[in-house]
Amino acid sequence: MSNFTRRQFITIAAAAASIVSIPFIVRGVSKKVLVIGGGSGGAIAAKYIRMADQNIDVTLIEQNKYYHTCFMSNEVLSGKRTIDSIKFSYDGLNKYGINIIHSRAINIDPVAKKVRLAGGEEVAFDKLIVSPGIEFNWDAIEGYNAEIAEKIPHAWKAGSQTVTLRKQLEQMKDGGSVIISIPAKPFRCPPGPYERASQIANYFKYHKPKSKVLLFDANQAFSKQALFTQGWEQMYGYGTDNSIIEWIPSNSEGKVTGVNVKANAVIAGEFEDEYPADVLNIIPPQTAGKIAIDSGLTNDSGWCPVNQKT
């Protein structure tokens, strides 16, 4: 990194998110950089652009007042962390001179170089970074929607649903089961569901050893599979009759197609069999954030294409 010039770094930081323009900045001339989305991607881009050149006016648009990190959130489920330990305000960005607007960006006008906010206000920019996170495809799983997710949580955006899922695990009887439904690739954080299973299994091992985690997976293989299964074998008896974790791939009826809320069960496989559990954790299929799709930044997959070189 020490070999990079400021200008090179800014170009790379901008390319790391979806950017609506060409590489950019003339040193010594005030330019307005607008960043949509205050998750890790957006906040880090805003911080390092400002650190690289304080002549650049940087504004971050983020609808939430606090950010709960998705990374480390699975440790809240195992009881290794509290939800407050992964909660951060945006006050730390003030010392870098970054402007913060707490609102939702709903429209990008790349010609006029303006972003319209939910309240009707417009914010001008010279360069724009779009880092809006994900949206859920609620139509993909029959019987499951945003309202039901408050009771049968996905917890794939850390926060209140993480707390709900943790409480459900605590209230579950020993000898009960948890079903984690994993969507088909691609989705945010490919190792995440398997890390979650590991953390829940760790909680069960020491507090509810008769319980099980069932991974209903719409995929035939998963990220870092060899490392996960090695750890599961050593820690949780994976592959034995007493295993705390059971992985059910798509060719073994692992793809979840629906949820029966009354029975607290998933519907899975070619024959649409029902599988009840004490706790359900349904992770829906995902796409890039809505504003990225609406602005034409995505391809047919629903995700923003990435330049692997940058």
For range 90-118, the mean pLDDT = 97
Q: Cβ distance 154 to 161 under 8 Å?
A: yes
Residues 128 and 142 in one domain: no
Residues 107 and 168 in one domain: no
- Residue 36 in domain: yes
- Is 80 exceeded by the pLDDT of residue 67? yes
Residues 246 and 280 in one domain: yes
For range 131-142, the mean pLDDT = 97
Domain extent for 261: 136-286
**What pLDDT does residue 30 have?**
66
Which of 26-40, 170-184, 215-229 comes out lowest in average pLDDT? 26-40
The domain total for the chain is: 2
Residues 123 and 178 in one domain: no
Q: Report pTM.
A: 0.88
CATH of residue 236's domain is: 3.50.50.60
**Mind listing the pLDDT tens digit for each residue in 154-209?**
999 999 999 999 999 999 999 999 999 999 999 999 999 999 999 999 999 999 99
Residues 140 and 60 in one domain: no
Tell me, letter by letter, the H, E, C secondary structure of 111-169: CCCEEEECCCCEEECCEEEECCCEEECHHHCECCCCCHHHCCCCCCCCCHHHHHHHHHH
- Residue 308 in domain: no
For range 206-225, the mean pLDDT = 98
For range 239-268, the mean pLDDT = 97
Q: Mean pLDDT across the chain, nearest whole number?
A: 92
Residues 123 and 211 in one domain: no
pLDDT bracket for residue 310 (50, 70, 90): confident
**What pLDDT does residue 166 have?**
98
For range 218-242, the mean pLDDT = 98
Residues 173 and 56 in one domain: no
- Is 50 exceeded by the pLDDT of residue 16? no
Q: Percent of the chain having pLDDT more than 70?
A: 90
**What pLDDT does residue 23 have?**
44
- Is 60 exceeded by the pLDDT of residue 244? yes
Which of 10-19, 83-92, 201-210 comes out lowest in average pLDDT? 10-19
How many angstroms from the chain centroid is the CA of residue 263?
A: 28
Q: Percent of the chain having pLDDT more than 90?
A: 89
Specify the 3-state DSSP secondary structure of 248: strand
**What pLDDT does residue 15 have?**
44
- Residue 166 in domain: yes
Residues 150 and 267 in one domain: yes
Specify the 3-state DSSP secondary structure of 82: coil
**What pLDDT does residue 6 have?**
45
For range 204-233, the mean pLDDT = 98
**What pLDDT does residue 285 have?**
98
Specify the 3-state DSSP secondary structure of 19: strand
* CA–CA dist 61, 39 (Å, integer): 10
**What pLDDT does residue 96 have?**
97
Residues 110 and 231 in one domain: no
**What pLDDT does residue 24 have?**
44
72 against 17, higher pLDDT? 72
Residues 198 and 217 in one domain: yes
**What pLDDT does residue 20 have?**
40
Residues 121 and 143 in one domain: no
Look at strands 279-282 and 177-182 and give their pairing: parallel
9 against 183, higher pLDDT? 183
For range 82-89, the mean pLDDT = 98
* CA–CA dist 5, 2 (Å, integer): 8
Q: Cβ distance 255 to 218 under 8 Å?
A: yes
**Helix axis angle, 40-52 to 6-16, nearest 10°:** 170
Residue type, 155: A
* CA–CA dist 295, 82 (Å, integer): 37
Q: Residues 213, 223, 155, 158: what is their CA dihedral angle, to the nearest 10 degrees?
A: 130
Residues 170 and 250 in one domain: yes
How many angstroms from the chain centroid is the CA of residue 120?
A: 28
Distances (CA, A) of 120 to 79, 103, 105, 255: 42, 10, 10, 42
For range 264-278, the mean pLDDT = 97
pLDDT bracket for residue 290 (50, 70, 90): very high
Write out the two tokens for 54.
């304080």
